[in-house]
Amino acid sequence: MHVTAFGQHRLEATAPWGLVQEKQIEVTSSGNKISPTDLAHFAMLSRGNCWLSVEGIPEPIPLTGGDCFLLARGTSIVLRDSPRTRPRRSFREIGAMAKNNVAHYGGGGAPTTIVCGSLSFDRASLKPISQLLPNFILIKADQAHTLALHSTMQALTLEMAEQAPGSEVVASRLAEVLFIQVLRAHIASGPEGNKGWLRAIFDPQIGTALCAIHDRVNTPWTVESLAGATGMSRSAFAARFKALLGQTPLEYVTEWRMQKAMQLLEQRDKKLVDVARSVGYESDAAFSKAFKRVVGASPGGYLKSALSRPQTSGNAFPG
């Protein structure tokens, strides 16, 4: 996982106040609709209290100072001082009003301060992150990992405020650390919150297969050889793998190879045939065909688009 851009703002809200984030559909220059931006959003309540409503969760969630939450891209939420307050502005609108990374909003009553951030990842990270992240992660202030989160957030805030030489690089690295710390806290909260990839990696048998695929990406894996590594029958292994991950073992193998290939291509110090062999292909032609099928672009086209991506983040508010 690599963070390519990071943004952070502070929301100073006074009651009554309410903000909404709706699902966004963006349009490319060619007119094609794309999914919401490749971002994960996080927020930490540093002062006051508020209520959070999340799509798919029936009851609003009370938040107090020190609570932190992470949102996968495209998740709709409402944040407000009271469940009775009607949200009148979007996070996008408030972000556009921010000055010096601070936005003020509300009716002048009880104050609430929320530090909001956004993480943009390189393309090679997007599929693993989408498999890894639930739509919503809540870390309460009294959980064991909260102190580490607060320390990292303070360091991030300092880097963003000072803008010293190298601050963008440091902020991106700290953002990666923050993201990992949130995931650690989520995993430590108990197995009931772990679904999809997280549930699979902790499964004694499927987790063994995943580790084998990750560690030996250039091995000519078959369903039989992966089942043998777990001590399961071929049919039982294939059925459980798909039940946990929603794809077949060999589909996962191919996607993992392409994730690794994207990272190797962006290093720009290897020939195409070397990248192909590193991820288990004997010829660059076979590799290029598989790469285009999975990624949607040729290796050369992917590298060209990767080099042209901006490295700075704009609006840090969700939406």
pLDDT at site 132 = 67
Q: What is the mean pLDDT of the chain?
A: 84
The answer to whether the CB of 150 falls within 8 A of the CB of 66 is: yes
Show Cβ contacts of residue 265 under 8 Å, excluding neighbours closer than 6 positions. Answer: 275, 299, 302, 303, 306
- Closest-CA residue to 78 (of 63, 67, 65): 63
Specify the higher pLDDT residue, 293 or 135.
293
pLDDT tens digits, 231-288: 999 999 999 999 988 899 999 999 999 989 988 998 888 899 999 999 999 999 999 9
Burial of 39 per CB tally in 10 Å (0-12, 13-18, 19+): buried
Specify the higher pLDDT residue, 164 or 35.
164
Burial of 100 per CB tally in 10 Å (0-12, 13-18, 19+): exposed
The answer to whether the CB of 187 falls within 8 A of the CB of 199 is: no
Confidence band (pLDDT; 50, 70, 90) for 153? confident
CA distance 49 to 117: 19
Lowest-confidence region among 95-99, 163-167, 273-277: 163-167
Cis peptide before 16 (omega within 30 of 0): yes
* Structural domains of the chain ordered from first start: 3-190 (2.60.120.280), 197-306 (1.10.10.60)
Tell me the mean pLDDT in the region 133-162: 80
pLDDT tens digits, 112-130: 999 888 888 776 676 667 7
State the chain's maximal CA–CA distance in angstroms: 67
